[in-house]
Amino acid sequence: MRVRQLTAAAAALLLATGALAGCSGGPAPARPPVPAPVPAPPTAVTGDVGPPDRAAVREGGTPRWALDAAPATLNVYQPAATADSALLAHALYPSLFRPDEHGRPVADPDYLESAECTPPGQQPQVVTYRLSPQAVWSDGTPLSAADFGAQRAALSGLDPAYAGNRPAGYDAIDSITEGAGPHEVKVTFRRPYAEWRALFGPLYPAAVTGSPAAFNRPLTDGPEPSAGPFQLSRYDPAGGRVSLVRSPNWWGDRPKADGIDFLVVPAEGRLDALDQDRLDIASLTAAVDRAGSTPAAPPTPAASASASGAASGAGSASGSGSPAATASATPAAPPAAPPAAAPEAADRALRRAEALPGITVHRAAAAALTELTLNAARGPLTDPAVRLALARAVDRRRVAGAALTPLGLAAAPLGSHLFAGDQDGYRDNSAALGPADAGRLLDAAGWKRPAAGATRLRDGRELALALLVPAGSATARRTADALTADLAGAGIALRTVAAPAEAFVRDHLATGDYDLALFSWPAGPHPAVEQRAVYAKPRPGADGALEAGSNYGRSGTEEIDRLFDRAAAELDPAAHLALLQEADTRIWQLGHSVPLYQRPDLVAVRSDVAGAGAWGFGRPRFQDVGFRGP
């Protein structure tokens, strides 16, 4: 599992309803008491696929599945990897653990008989994997410790010749050895690492990771070693087709379909393709959200990867979130606000999708958190009191309703920066903001309201802020309108500016050229390592200037960093979760950002296709995908 990032087109893709562990201790600084949070049950839709009924799925047939683009690699750890790379990789390669519908990592019995970790407090930490004796690569070679060792060497960062991203955790491994037999692998860690289940998913054969040349190789139309229910049979990027067929060496449940054809169909053409019976499975997230807008530029590889499967209808692709990186460029003038017609066009597109004969539109809350990020390094928001007042002024339930209700999803607001509402471990920690209302906080900070309904003033300056949103997004427009009304009630004037996908991060988030920004982050089952960089305290660079990295809010504390580090090294599940809840509480008190809702996910599936839909935190079980019938 990799640390989250948001680059280039990712902002629009993730919002679109269109993705370091170290040990430190010491006492935390004293803080004001916080009202005890109340654990909240999941309120969002966890998935819309339905229970698999393999007996009702006939043998044969080839479902047609929409891609954004033919991926340049199936190695999700390459910088060129996309969400489509991850979707295909999960059909072709082992993941020892799969996220269930609530984001809990569950051992996949096709690959893993058991995995045991030494008890908390026992050093060194050793994880013993017992692999299925039947699990083999497509050439008949069994999965083994050699594959684990090669992947660790490639991803540990020790050899810069591997031109790959650096997933967290591989650098914590001290050694990998064969255990009691060829199907047992022992992984010894040099320091405690709580998120060990995130490693080796996907697992690649040593032939792919054993040398820099093999690791860095782009995908070609030739044999590709795999160990899944399907194998690659055709790679035709010019023709926009990637085809899979049943693997003859697969040992698990026999795939129902003969194969799967993945076809490149841009979002703006998917409704037509479904209407013309050229697709069976297609994400409509972007097709609905951006209906009526100018087609966006193709996503960059890193951007698509961080979408975590959103563009492909893959749900959460836990191997596809990219590592933290910083984009840089000169600021650009913000473009005009999004067109007022965007929500109406989105409504028409959704009605058309629902009316397509033989098509069912599945809905779920995706594994992505839409947040309002506050730039603590600019203007009035440098004052923590103003940030807290703004957070108090946002009616998160009303905002969630404005964004989700038009799409047929429940208005489920978020109360956590680290967990989705349908995720195991979720707790609403928003009470950490305290009981004071926004008006009193702003009065105390010197921002006075001259008259009822007027914008607040201090030293003759209005409390007016700009809200950066992805251009052409209907959901962004609806959310921005709701936020504008909320903040106006507190005397804060809000002006919406829209940035195209290619400029959103490069010219605004990365450079700090914004006041407030609306975008989504992928949510995964391992927040201690996946989300640390988003809230890490900015550090001085070589030139003395603060380097924000992936912390676009530009606020952080040593205490929050320590809490993440301690959680990443805490092997006791209850203590691990408690540290994360404490970190989330401190993030609320910092006024870093305001969680709003989970990004919606819409997936169109032909009515006679089984095993497909909107997966939420889950992931397709490709051997169950097929056609209903005798």
- Residue by residue, DSSP assigns 439-454 as HHHHHHTT-B-SSTTP
Q: Is residue 422 part of a domain?
A: yes
**How many helices and strands, by DSSP H and E, does the chain display?**
18, 23
Q: Is residue 438 part of a domain?
A: yes
| CA 168/CA 93 separation, integer angstroms | 20
Q: Total structural domains in the chain?
A: 1
pLDDT value of position 51: 67
- 260 beta partners: 244
Q: What is the pTM of this model?
A: 0.87
Q: Is residue 575 part of a domain?
A: yes
**Residue 379 belongs to domain with CATH number:** 3.10.105.10
pLDDT value of position 191: 96
Question: Token pair for residue 76?
Answer: 């999700």
Q: CA angle 485-488-493, nearest 5°? A: 115
What is the mean pLDDT of the segment spanning 189-209?
A: 96
Q: Is residue 388 part of a domain?
A: yes
Q: Does residue 563 register a pLDDT over 50?
A: yes
Of the pLDDT bands very low, low, confident and very high (cuts 50, 70, 90), residue 295 is low
What value does the mean pLDDT of the chain take?
A: 87
- Name the helix (H) or strand (E) containing 489: helix 474-489
Q: Give whole-number Cα distances, 67 to 232, 281, 614, in Å.
A: 15, 10, 15
Q: Is residue 252 part of a domain?
A: no
pLDDT value of position 28: 31
What is the mean pLDDT of the segment spanning 104-122?
A: 96
The rounded percent of the chain whose pLDDT value lies above 70 is 85
- 462 beta partners: 457
**Does residue 624 contact residue 91 with C-beta atoms inside 8 Å?**
no
Of the pLDDT bands very low, low, confident and very high (cuts 50, 70, 90), residue 334 is very low
Question: What is residue 512's three-state secondary structure?
Answer: coil
Q: Does residue 13 register a pLDDT over 90?
A: no
pLDDT value of position 167: 85
| CA 250/CA 255 separation, integer angstroms | 9
Domain encompassing residue 564 = 365-600
| CA 63/CA 473 separation, integer angstroms | 30
Of the pLDDT bands very low, low, confident and very high (cuts 50, 70, 90), residue 46 is low
**Does residue 235 contact residue 242 with C-beta atoms inside 8 Å?**
yes
Q: Is residue 383 part of a domain?
A: yes
Of the pLDDT bands very low, low, confident and very high (cuts 50, 70, 90), residue 294 is low
What is the mean pLDDT of the segment spanning 225-244?
A: 97
Q: Is residue 471 part of a domain?
A: yes
What is the mean pLDDT of the segment spanning 533-549?
A: 90
pLDDT value of position 35: 37
> Which residue did the predictor score with more confidence, 341 or 426?
426
Lowest mean pLDDT among 162-166, 378-382, 497-501, 571-575: 162-166
Q: Is residue 141 part of a domain?
A: no
